[in-house]
């Protein structure tokens, strides 16, 4: 055999031996790309069902997740090496169905090099126990009212489960309320909490609970026994409005704990503290308690409600830093029995909005008040403060609707109006608060990020434009990418992935912007400049 042929055969044998140990080195040598799935786990990421993947690849790959109807759910680009990443299996607070999903991997030439089927048992919740809390509005003559329910549930399934509402059937009468946002992870147990009010104790000693997801699918059901032994915590308020007034109101601890545990949002529009839907019925009940023994004209009702809020102790957010603000949700102000100007304005606006008044939050330098839109004939002795709004001071005792304290009169043309009306309120953040920077890759220098867009308003937002862009120091936009969210329901979130090339030869900041009706409604900016 000629020597050249022997050398060729030897090289081939060596290649085959090496490839048998390393899996796919032969593919790399001849120009192919290998992919090895090392493991995966189904879990939750702040309300989004996700798959955490551990894999290894020998070149640039794109991993795509396809849903039950072969629709593309999520995808991302990865470079050579061992990787850990998350891809998403569904929308916000959507329990994924027990059907087949598909993971497919493509090389840099868009050739499919790997495929894997994902099958799930799906949701399988079991109600382990139920804590009921009751409230006796009139301790002498009244009957107990169901005030809250806490279910302790276990997830026997293999996907995260997102309860959305709770239906209670008492005395053959069904009524439904939202549960507080939560997730029950696979093979774990947790509480599902719901503020659910029934005015009187049932005649029957048993009732049925149906726990449902956002699509009204029943996640768990159980017949339970009425137990009125546990009472909700109450708090008494006393004040004066043409005579002494007193009211005792229920303060559900779990509702307080939920709202006090929410992150404060860095945005000047505090309307979302009023819009939050999880205390709507609670606000109505408190109002009913306060207004039980009072009935007046439109303006008298406004002043009466305001007098209650003005009596709450004033306390600044920080005695050391006057610029620090920690806005409270209404139940926080009631539970703590104290608050500063924005807390009292938020609480008053919540009450008046619930009563059907057209109100707004008015932001002034170092102060916040409420604006009330009324006809001029309602308060003939006062003028509008700004546009069609009368000024309502909620901090200082004795101030009535229309009266403007001297120190705030100069801002009547410059105050910012945040209307408490049926509108969307869009905010966004970067996932984990970061962007990922790639340099010296085979496709150049670029940034990648996931931005989470949320609607904190009370109406659906449509045709939202999400943009990531590099902006020069003079304000000119260079490289950018934009995507459209067709619609976003109240309290819904969407994750949007963006990838933008880093411009060369000019100093820029990276910005993300949210547009609604061709107007920028929210913006984030990188701390450092590029390149």
DSSP secondary structure string, 335-361? Answer: HHTEE-HHHHHHHHHHHHHHTT--EEE
What is the reported pLDDT for 363? 97
What is the reported pLDDT for 109? 92
Q: Are residues 266 and 394 in the same domain?
A: yes
H helix or E strand, kind and range, residue 446? strand 444-455
The answer to whether residue 531 is domain-embedded is no
What is the reported pLDDT for 14? 41
The residues near 503 (Cβ < 8 Å, ≥ 6 apart) are 470, 478, 479, 530, 531
Longest dimension (CA), the chain: 117
Total number of domains in the chain: 5
How many helices (H) and strands (E) in the chain? Answer: 8, 30
The answer to whether residue 272 is domain-embedded is yes
The answer to whether residue 404 is domain-embedded is yes
Q: What is the pLDDT of residues 254-272, one digit of tens each?
A: 999 999 999 998 899 999 9
Residue 198: give its domain's CATH number.
Answer: 2.60.40.10
Q: Are residues 409 and 480 in the same domain?
A: no
What is the reported pLDDT for 323? 57
* 3-state secondary structure (DSSP) of residue 63: strand
Q: What is the pTM of this model?
A: 0.89
Q: Are residues 36 and 21 in the same domain?
A: no
Q: What is the pLDDT of residues 362-408, one digit of tens each?
A: 999 999 999 999 999 999 889 999 999 999 999 999 999 999 999 99
The answer to whether residue 462 is domain-embedded is yes
Q: Are residues 23 and 113 in the same domain?
A: no
Phi, psi for residue 400 in degrees, rounded to 5: -115, 170
Collect the ranges in the chain with pLDDT lower than 70: 1-31, 139-142, 318-324
The answer to whether residue 334 is domain-embedded is yes
The answer to whether residue 530 is domain-embedded is no
H helix or E strand, kind and range, residue 285? helix 280-291
Residue 325: give its domain's CATH number.
Answer: 3.10.620
What is the reported pLDDT for 258? 95
Q: Are residues 460 and 519 in the same domain?
A: yes
Q: Are residues 436 and 480 in the same domain?
A: yes
Domain that holds residue 11: 1-27
What is the reported pLDDT for 318? 62
């Amino acid at each position: 055999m000629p020597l050249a042929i022997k050398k060729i055969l030897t090289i081939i044998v060596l290649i085959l031996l090496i490839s048998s140990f390393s899996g796919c080195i032969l593919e790399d040598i001849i120009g192919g790309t290998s992919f090895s799935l090392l493991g995966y786990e189904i879990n939750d990421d702040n309300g989004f069902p996700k798959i955490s993947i551990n894999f290894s690849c020998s070149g640039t790959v794109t991993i795509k997740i396809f849903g039950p109807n072969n629709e593309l759910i999520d995808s991302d680009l990865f470079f050579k090496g061992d990787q850990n990443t998350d891809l998403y299996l569904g929308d916000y607070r959507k329990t994924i169905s027990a059907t087949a999903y598909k993971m497919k991997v493509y090389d840099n030439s868009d050739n499919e090099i790997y495929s894997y089927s994902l099958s799930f048992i799906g949701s399988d919740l079991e109600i382990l126990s139920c804590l009921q809390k009751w409230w006796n509005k009139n301790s002498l003559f009244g009957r107990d009212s169901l005030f809250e329910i806490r279910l302790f549930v276990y997830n026997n399934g293999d996907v995260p489960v997102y309860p959305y509402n709770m239906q209670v059937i008492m005395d053959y009468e069904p009524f439904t309320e939202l549960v507080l946002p939560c997730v029950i992870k696979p093979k774990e147990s947790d509480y599902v909490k719901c503020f659910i009010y029934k005015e009187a104790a049932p005649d029957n000693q048993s009732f049925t609970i149906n726990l449902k997801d956002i699509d009204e699918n029943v996640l768990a059901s159980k017949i339970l026994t009425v137990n009125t032994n546990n009472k909700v915590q109450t708090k008494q308020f006393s004040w004066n409005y043409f005579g002494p007034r007193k009211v005792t109101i229920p303060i559900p601890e779990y509702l307080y704990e939920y709202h006090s545990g929410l992150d404060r949002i860095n945005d000047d529009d505090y309307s979302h503290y009023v819009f939050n839907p999880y205390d709507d019925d609670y606000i109505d009940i408190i109002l009913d308690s306060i207004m039980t023994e009072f009935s007046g004209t439109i303006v008298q009702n406004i002043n009466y409600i305001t007098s209650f809020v003005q009596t709450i102790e004033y306390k600044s957010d920080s005695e050391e830093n006057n610029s620090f603000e920690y806005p409270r949700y209404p139940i926080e102000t009631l539970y703590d029995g104290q608050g500063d100007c924005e807390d009292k304005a938020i609480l008053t606006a919540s009450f008046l909005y619930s009563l059907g008044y057209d109100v707004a939050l008015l932001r002034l330098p170092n102060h916040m008040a409420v604006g009330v839109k009324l006809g001029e004939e309602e308060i003939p002795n006062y003028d509008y403060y700004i546009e069609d709004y009368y000024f309502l001071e909620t901090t200082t005792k004795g101030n009535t609707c229309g009266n403007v304290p001297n120190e705030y009169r100069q801002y009547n043309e410059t105050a910012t109006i945040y209307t408490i009306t049926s509108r969307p309120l869009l905010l966004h953040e970067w996932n984990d608060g970061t962007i990922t920077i790639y340099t010296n890759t085979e496709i150049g220098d670029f940034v990648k990020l996931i931005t989470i867009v949320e609607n904190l308003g009370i109406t659906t937002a449509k045709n939202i434009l999400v943009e990531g862009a590099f902006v020069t120091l003079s304000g000119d936009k260079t490289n950018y990418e934009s995507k459209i969210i067709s619609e976003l329901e109240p309290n819904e979130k969407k994750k949007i992935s963006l990838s933008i090339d880093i411009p060369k030869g000019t100093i820029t900041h990276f910005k993300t912007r949210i547009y609604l009706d061709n107007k920028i409604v929210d913006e984030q900016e990188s701390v450092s400049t590029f390149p």
